[in-house]
Amino acid sequence: MSRLLLVRHGNTKGNSAERLWGHTDIELSALGIKQAEQLRDRLEAEKIDAIYTSELRRASATAEIIASRHQAQVTICPELKEINFGQVEGLTFQEISQRYPELARAWPTRDLTFQFPGGESIGDLNNRVTKFLSRLEKHAPEETILIVAHSGILRLLICHLLGIELEHWRQLRTDLASLSILETYPQGAILNLLNDVSHLS
Protein backbone atom coordinates (compact mmCIF):
# COMPACT_ATOMS: atom_id res chain seq x y z
CA MET A 1 0.00 0.00 0.00
CA SER A 2 1.28 3.45 -0.93
CA ARG A 3 -0.14 6.42 0.92
CA LEU A 4 -0.63 9.55 -1.17
CA LEU A 5 -0.95 12.98 0.44
CA LEU A 6 -2.43 15.39 -2.10
CA VAL A 7 -2.03 19.08 -1.24
CA ARG A 8 -3.20 22.13 -3.15
CA HIS A 9 -0.94 25.17 -2.82
CA GLY A 10 -1.84 28.08 -0.56
CA ASN A 11 -3.38 31.42 -1.49
CA THR A 12 -1.38 33.73 -3.77
CA LYS A 13 -0.65 37.41 -4.12
CA GLY A 14 -3.05 37.45 -7.07
CA ASN A 15 -5.87 35.97 -4.94
CA SER A 16 -6.04 32.51 -6.47
CA ALA A 17 -9.36 31.90 -4.74
CA GLU A 18 -11.00 34.22 -7.26
CA ARG A 19 -8.73 34.41 -10.31
CA LEU A 20 -7.62 31.81 -12.82
CA TRP A 21 -3.88 31.47 -12.51
CA GLY A 22 -2.67 28.66 -14.71
CA HIS A 23 0.87 28.88 -16.05
CA THR A 24 1.32 32.37 -14.57
CA ASP A 25 4.05 32.00 -11.95
CA ILE A 26 2.79 34.04 -9.01
CA GLU A 27 4.01 33.77 -5.43
CA LEU A 28 2.25 32.83 -2.22
CA SER A 29 0.66 35.70 -0.33
CA ALA A 30 1.27 36.21 3.39
CA LEU A 31 -1.92 34.22 3.95
CA GLY A 32 -0.67 31.49 1.61
CA ILE A 33 2.59 31.20 3.55
CA LYS A 34 0.62 30.88 6.81
CA GLN A 35 -1.57 28.19 5.21
CA ALA A 36 1.54 26.27 4.10
CA GLU A 37 2.90 26.49 7.65
CA GLN A 38 -0.39 25.12 8.98
CA LEU A 39 -0.10 22.24 6.52
CA ARG A 40 3.50 21.69 7.67
CA ASP A 41 2.31 21.39 11.27
CA ARG A 42 -0.57 19.11 10.23
CA LEU A 43 1.77 16.74 8.36
CA GLU A 44 4.72 16.85 10.77
CA ALA A 45 3.99 13.42 12.21
CA GLU A 46 3.65 11.78 8.80
CA LYS A 47 6.45 9.56 7.51
CA ILE A 48 6.99 11.18 4.11
CA ASP A 49 9.35 9.30 1.78
CA ALA A 50 9.09 11.43 -1.36
CA ILE A 51 7.79 14.88 -2.27
CA TYR A 52 6.71 15.94 -5.76
CA THR A 53 5.64 19.45 -6.70
CA SER A 54 4.72 21.64 -9.62
CA GLU A 55 7.51 23.93 -10.75
CA LEU A 56 5.30 27.00 -10.23
CA ARG A 57 6.37 28.97 -7.16
CA ARG A 58 3.02 28.88 -5.37
CA ALA A 59 3.22 25.08 -5.28
CA SER A 60 6.98 24.63 -4.85
CA ALA A 61 7.08 27.12 -1.96
CA THR A 62 4.22 25.27 -0.26
CA ALA A 63 6.14 22.00 -0.75
CA GLU A 64 9.38 23.43 0.64
CA ILE A 65 7.65 24.74 3.75
CA ILE A 66 6.09 21.33 4.43
CA ALA A 67 9.40 19.57 3.63
CA SER A 68 11.26 21.61 6.26
CA ARG A 69 10.09 19.10 8.90
CA HIS A 70 11.04 16.04 6.84
CA GLN A 71 14.13 14.43 5.32
CA ALA A 72 12.58 13.79 1.89
CA GLN A 73 13.92 15.68 -1.10
CA VAL A 74 11.53 17.89 -3.07
CA THR A 75 11.36 16.86 -6.74
CA ILE A 76 10.13 19.43 -9.28
CA CYS A 77 7.75 17.96 -11.88
CA PRO A 78 6.85 20.12 -14.91
CA GLU A 79 3.93 17.79 -15.63
CA LEU A 80 2.25 18.95 -12.39
CA LYS A 81 1.75 22.52 -13.66
CA GLU A 82 -1.79 23.84 -13.71
CA ILE A 83 -3.61 24.10 -17.04
CA ASN A 84 -2.64 27.00 -19.30
CA PHE A 85 -5.72 29.25 -19.37
CA GLY A 86 -4.37 31.21 -22.35
CA GLN A 87 -6.22 34.48 -22.96
CA VAL A 88 -8.22 34.22 -19.74
CA GLU A 89 -5.22 33.86 -17.40
CA GLY A 90 -5.71 36.02 -14.30
CA LEU A 91 -9.39 36.76 -14.93
CA THR A 92 -12.34 36.01 -12.67
CA PHE A 93 -15.25 33.98 -14.03
CA GLN A 94 -17.36 37.15 -13.99
CA GLU A 95 -14.78 38.93 -16.14
CA ILE A 96 -14.68 35.98 -18.52
CA SER A 97 -18.49 36.03 -18.78
CA GLN A 98 -18.34 39.69 -19.79
CA ARG A 99 -15.40 39.48 -22.22
CA TYR A 100 -15.81 35.94 -23.58
CA PRO A 101 -19.52 35.03 -23.21
CA GLU A 102 -19.29 32.07 -25.62
CA LEU A 103 -16.39 30.61 -23.64
CA ALA A 104 -18.31 31.07 -20.38
CA ARG A 105 -21.29 29.19 -21.81
CA ALA A 106 -19.08 26.32 -23.00
CA TRP A 107 -17.17 26.13 -19.71
CA PRO A 108 -19.40 23.54 -17.93
CA THR A 109 -18.86 21.00 -20.71
CA ARG A 110 -17.52 17.58 -19.76
CA ASP A 111 -15.75 17.34 -23.10
CA LEU A 112 -12.02 16.75 -22.57
CA THR A 113 -11.30 18.45 -25.90
CA PHE A 114 -12.53 21.78 -24.47
CA GLN A 115 -9.65 24.22 -24.94
CA PHE A 116 -8.99 27.68 -23.56
CA PRO A 117 -8.24 30.21 -26.33
CA GLY A 118 -4.47 30.44 -26.67
CA GLY A 119 -4.07 27.83 -23.92
CA GLU A 120 -4.44 24.12 -23.25
CA SER A 121 -7.31 21.67 -23.48
CA ILE A 122 -8.46 19.48 -20.61
CA GLY A 123 -6.98 16.60 -22.62
CA ASP A 124 -3.58 18.30 -22.62
CA LEU A 125 -3.75 18.59 -18.85
CA ASN A 126 -4.79 14.96 -18.55
CA ASN A 127 -1.85 13.84 -20.69
CA ARG A 128 0.49 15.42 -18.15
CA VAL A 129 -1.33 13.74 -15.27
CA THR A 130 -0.94 10.38 -17.03
CA LYS A 131 2.78 11.03 -17.45
CA PHE A 132 3.12 11.83 -13.75
CA LEU A 133 1.35 8.60 -12.74
CA SER A 134 4.26 6.63 -14.19
CA ARG A 135 6.51 8.21 -11.54
CA LEU A 136 4.31 6.83 -8.77
CA GLU A 137 4.63 3.29 -10.11
CA LYS A 138 8.35 3.33 -9.22
CA HIS A 139 7.70 3.65 -5.49
CA ALA A 140 7.63 0.79 -3.00
CA PRO A 141 4.17 -0.13 -1.69
CA GLU A 142 4.92 0.97 1.88
CA GLU A 143 6.02 4.51 0.99
CA THR A 144 4.16 7.74 1.74
CA ILE A 145 4.29 10.31 -1.05
CA LEU A 146 3.41 14.00 -0.83
CA ILE A 147 2.17 15.69 -4.01
CA VAL A 148 1.78 19.48 -4.00
CA ALA A 149 0.03 20.81 -7.07
CA HIS A 150 -3.00 22.66 -8.44
CA SER A 151 -6.73 22.06 -8.46
CA GLY A 152 -7.05 20.75 -12.02
CA ILE A 153 -4.12 18.38 -11.64
CA LEU A 154 -5.28 17.01 -8.29
CA ARG A 155 -8.87 16.42 -9.40
CA LEU A 156 -7.80 14.50 -12.50
CA LEU A 157 -5.27 12.55 -10.46
CA ILE A 158 -7.99 11.48 -8.03
CA CYS A 159 -10.21 10.38 -10.92
CA HIS A 160 -7.41 8.24 -12.37
CA LEU A 161 -6.55 6.63 -9.05
CA LEU A 162 -10.16 5.84 -8.14
CA GLY A 163 -11.14 4.69 -11.62
CA ILE A 164 -13.73 7.47 -11.99
CA GLU A 165 -14.67 8.57 -15.52
CA LEU A 166 -12.57 11.66 -16.28
CA GLU A 167 -15.66 13.57 -17.39
CA HIS A 168 -16.58 13.82 -13.69
CA TRP A 169 -13.40 15.66 -12.69
CA ARG A 170 -15.23 18.96 -12.18
CA GLN A 171 -17.44 17.32 -9.53
CA LEU A 172 -14.50 17.05 -7.15
CA ARG A 173 -13.39 20.03 -5.08
CA THR A 174 -9.92 20.85 -3.82
CA ASP A 175 -9.73 24.16 -1.99
CA LEU A 176 -6.58 26.21 -1.43
CA ALA A 177 -4.22 24.55 1.10
CA SER A 178 -6.48 21.49 1.29
CA LEU A 179 -5.36 17.95 2.05
CA SER A 180 -6.70 14.79 0.43
CA ILE A 181 -5.41 11.30 1.24
CA LEU A 182 -5.54 8.12 -0.82
CA GLU A 183 -4.23 4.64 -0.14
CA THR A 184 -3.31 2.67 -3.25
CA TYR A 185 -3.44 -1.10 -3.59
CA PRO A 186 -2.94 -3.45 -6.56
CA GLN A 187 -6.73 -3.74 -6.77
CA GLY A 188 -7.25 0.04 -6.78
CA ALA A 189 -7.22 3.08 -4.51
CA ILE A 190 -9.27 4.08 -1.47
CA LEU A 191 -10.07 7.73 -0.81
CA ASN A 192 -9.64 8.31 2.93
CA LEU A 193 -9.91 12.10 2.96
CA LEU A 194 -11.04 14.71 0.45
CA ASN A 195 -10.53 18.47 0.53
CA ASP A 196 -9.85 18.71 4.26
CA VAL A 197 -9.04 22.21 5.50
CA SER A 198 -9.54 21.64 9.25
CA HIS A 199 -5.89 22.62 9.84
CA LEU A 200 -6.68 26.16 8.66
CA SER A 201 -9.16 26.91 11.45
Closest C-alpha among 95, 114, 96, 117 to residue 106? 114
The question of whether 9 is a catalytic residue gets the answer yes
Spatial CB neighbours of 168, under 8 Å, sequence gap ≥ 6: 110, 159
pLDDT of amino acid 104: 86
State the catalytic residue, choosing from 9, 70, 150, 160.
9
Model pTM score: 0.95
β-bridge partners, 76: 53
Dist. CA 118–CA 143, nearest whole Å: 39
* pLDDT mean values, one per 10 residues, the chain (201 residues): 94 87 95 98 97 98 97 96 95 92 83 90 95 93 96 97 93 97 94 98 84
**Phi and psi at residue 76, to the nearest 5°:** -80, 130
Q: Give the residue extent of every domain in the chain.
A: 2-200
Give the CATH number of domain 2-200. 3.40.50.1240
pLDDT of amino acid 194: 98
pLDDT of amino acid 15: 82
Dist. CA 11–CA 36, nearest whole Å: 9
Contact 54, 153 (CB under 8 A): yes
Dihedral of CA 159/164/166/170: which sign?
negative
The question of whether 82 is a catalytic residue gets the answer yes
Contact 145, 50 (CB under 8 A): yes
State the catalytic residue, choosing from 79, 82, 120, 150.
82
Contact 119, 86 (CB under 8 A): yes
| Chain centroid to CA 159 | 13
Dist. CA 82–CA 176, nearest whole Å: 13
